[in-house]
């Protein structure tokens, strides 16, 4: 379990791009389940779409990547510093199954498929209740920047 304060110590993201509110479970090297509460106050809703607010798919993928980063850091037993950045290396098989609207709670469910040579591969999905909203295979890597 991680609350928002612990998440803020692990991820460099801040408002409006921090997209993980709480971690409900984490199994080192295996799986993480986290939550993203979707509210009408999200800045993207003013333009996506004014007549029918829908969370952009790329932001759902970003939320999954942030959960994946938390799992990777836990797996490695590291806390990243200001010289570390966790990047997308690839997104495969992304499928959007259900629109996500204000008032929904996204359950981010990410499993580590494998890690090799600094590349992490994850099976990721986000659900609203028991309905699948998005699924994808994510590849991520950590880089040192100076």
Q: Which of 59, 51, 46 is nearest to 100 (CA)?
A: 59
Beta bridge partners of 34: 23, 108
Residue with tokens 């199994």: 27
Count of H helices and E strands in the chain? 2, 6
Q: Is 48 a catalytic residue?
A: yes
Residue 129 buriedness (CB in 10 A; 0-12 / 13-18 / 19+): exposed
**What is the mean pLDDT of the segment spanning 14-43?**
97
pLDDT tens digit string along 85-137?
889 999 999 999 999 999 999 999 999 999 999 899 999 999 999 999 999 99
User: Is there a cis peptide before residue 49, judged by omega within 30 degrees of 0?
Assistant: yes
Q: Residue 84 — very low, low, confident or very high, per pLDDT cuts 50/70/90? A: confident
Q: Is the model's pLDDT at 82 over the cut of 90?
A: no
Q: Higher-confidence residue: 83 or 22?
A: 22
What is d(CA 25, CA 44) in angstroms, rounded to the nearest whole number? Answer: 28
Catalytic hit among 5, 13, 48, 51: 48
Q: Provide the Cα torsion 19, 125, 40, 44; round to 10°.
A: 70
Domains with residue ranges and CATH for the chain: 4-144 (3.10.129.10)
Confidence at residue 81, expressed as pLDDT on a 0 to 100 scale:
87
pTM of the model: 0.97
Could you give the CA distance from residue 7 to residue 30 in angstroms, rounded to a whole number? 18
Structure tokens belonging to residue 60? 């759902």
């Amino acid at each position: 379990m991680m609350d928002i304060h612990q998440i803020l110590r692990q991820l460099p993201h801040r408002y409006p791009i921090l997209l993980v509110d709480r971690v409900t479970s984490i199994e080192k090297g295996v799986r993480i389940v986290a939550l993203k509460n979707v509210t009408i106050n999200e800045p993207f809703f003013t333009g996506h779409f004014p007549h029918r607010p829908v969370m952009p798919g790329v932001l759902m993928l970003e939320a999954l990547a942030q959960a994946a980063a938390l799992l990777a850091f836990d797996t490695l037993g590291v806390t990243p510093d200001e010289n570390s950045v966790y990047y997308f290396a690839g997104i495969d098989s992304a499928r959007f199954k259900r629109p996500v609207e204000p008032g929904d709670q996204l359950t981010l469910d990410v499993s580590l498929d494998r890690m090799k040579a600094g590349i992490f591969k994850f099976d990721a999905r986000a659900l609203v209740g028991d309905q699948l909203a998005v699924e994808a295979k994510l590849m991520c890597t950590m880089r040192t920047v100076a």
